[in-house]
Structure 1
Amino acid sequence: MTVRPATRLSAEDWAVAGLHLLEAEGVEALQINRLCSELGVTRGSFYWHFADVAELRSAVAERWRAETRAVLEELGRVGTLPPGERLELMTLRLVDDSWWSAERAVRGWAATEDSVRTVVEESDRFALDLLTRTLQDVGHEPHEARVRAGLLVYAGIGFAHGRNGLPRPTEREVRTMMRVLAGPPDPEPDVGKDA
């Protein structure tokens, strides 16, 4: 699909187009000629913003990081909602197809490029910290919240990579998973009582 720009493209326009191409066809498709064709522009337009394809790829990885972080921050800002509802909103991202095509593509790319791996690791730490804070708001002690948050993050990463070969969970199943992994804190044991 060739798009004829009405105005001069920005570096951000190139990064967005690159991310869409990455989602659709993988990192190998992130080539100058291919993007110029998709955008309906000349190579000169590309070189106005980037020195080479490596610089473009960095911009694409940064665009993914920014989009991912914005979504997570928005979910985390839903502070007026009870923590359980915040967790549910975060977890329901697992059944959102628009989220996972980019997620899978970027994570695959991170396996072969250190700079992209760094971006993915930062994003994962951000998600882990956000979930940990939300689970503490639910009432879990810090260590317990971190363990449960880790399980949720790992479940999400696994879902991104396993969703083609495994049955897609329904929203109800995702909510059940969230309740199991993030459920209420365990009650304090009765110390000193006879069993």
Structure 2
Amino acid sequence: MTSTASSGTGRLSIDDWTERALQLLMDEGVGALKIARLCRELGVTKGSFYWHFADLEALRTAVAKRWTERTRAELDELRELGTLPPLERIRIMAAGLVEDRAWNVERTLREWARTDASVAATIGESEQHVFGLLNDAFLELGHPAGAARMRAGLLTYAGIGFAHGQASLPRVTMDDIGDLVEFLSKETGTT
């Protein structure tokens, strides 16, 4: 089926379905993706769902594709950070670590990636890109290659850890992130 715009026609498009499903996924996790619930929330019958998708798995595949496209667009935006000073780039990337919604999406997508190769590949691509940007920034700050790699890895893993530990560990604040960036940015051997 081809996607048709829903504006003015009263019919939902594939984009309408996948956008709502993606919002549910981000807000509540993969378990929230239920045909009856989506139909109820979108105000349509199950026939409308089956017009666009063969089954729930087809919807999940479409949602994974939509998320993958969105993530790749965000990665493209990150590439533009290369024109900023290195410490500013690190601070901008680290600032995203304190957003509650970012943690929820991170946890949900990592769980989903266990069963969806497309989502897993996009997460891997995203991690490599972020790690590369951080590594380059630490190199530009004058850290030797090994120290830059370690610092980039620590900040990347911190982001992953914040996503999974925020429910049971003390809440991470913007000040905490600032302190972490400051600590990792210092020259080797300074206090």
TM interval, shorter chain, is: 0.7 to 0.9
Question: Pick from 72, 76, 81: which aligns with 1:78?
Answer: 81
Structure 2 residue 153 is the aligned partner of structure 1 residue 169: no
Q: Which stretch shifts more, 92-101 or 119-128?
A: 119-128
Question: Pick from 152, 155, 160: which aligns with 1:152?
Answer: 155
Aligned-residue Cα RMSD (Å) equals 2.5
TM-score (norm 1): 0.79
TM-score (norm 2): 0.80
Q: What is residue 188 of structure 2 aligned with on the other side?
A: 186
What percent identity do the matched residue pairs reach? 50
Question: Pick from 57, 61, 68: which aligns with 1:65?
Answer: 68
Question: Pick from 93, 110, 129: which aligns with 1:126?
Answer: 129
Distance 1:39 1:20 in 2: 12
Measured after TM superposition, the shift of residue 184 of structure 1 is 4.2
Q: Which stretch shifts more, 53-62 or 164-173?
A: 53-62
Q: What is residue 43 of structure 1 aligned with on the other side?
A: 46
Measured after TM superposition, the shift of residue 45 of structure 1 is 2.9
Structure 2 residue 55 is the aligned partner of structure 1 residue 52: yes
Measured after TM superposition, the shift of residue 6 of structure 1 is 5.1
Distance 1:14 1:131, change over 3 A: farther
Q: What is residue 27 of structure 1 aligned with on the other side?
A: 30
Measured after TM superposition, the shift of residue 177 of structure 1 is 0.8
Measured after TM superposition, the shift of residue 35 of structure 1 is 1.4
| Mapped contact 2:95–2:177 kept (Cα < 8 A) | yes
**Structure 2 unaligned regions, length at least 5:** 1-5
Distance 1:113 1:75 in 2: 25
| Mapped contact 2:113–2:120 kept (Cα < 8 A) | yes
Question: Pick from 132, 139, 142: which aligns with 2:142?
Answer: 139
Distance 1:125 1:186 in 2: 24
Question: Pick from 86, 101, 107: which aligns with 1:98?
Answer: 101
Give the counterpart letter for 1:61 in structure 2. Answer: A
Measured after TM superposition, the shift of residue 165 of structure 1 is 0.8
Length, aligned pairs only: 183
**SS of alignment partner, residue 172 of structure 2:** coil
Moved over 6 A (4+): none
Q: Deviations over 1:14-70 (max 9, x none)?
A: 222112111232212212222122211233333343332222212222333333343
| Mapped contact 1:76–1:86 kept (Cα < 8 A) | no
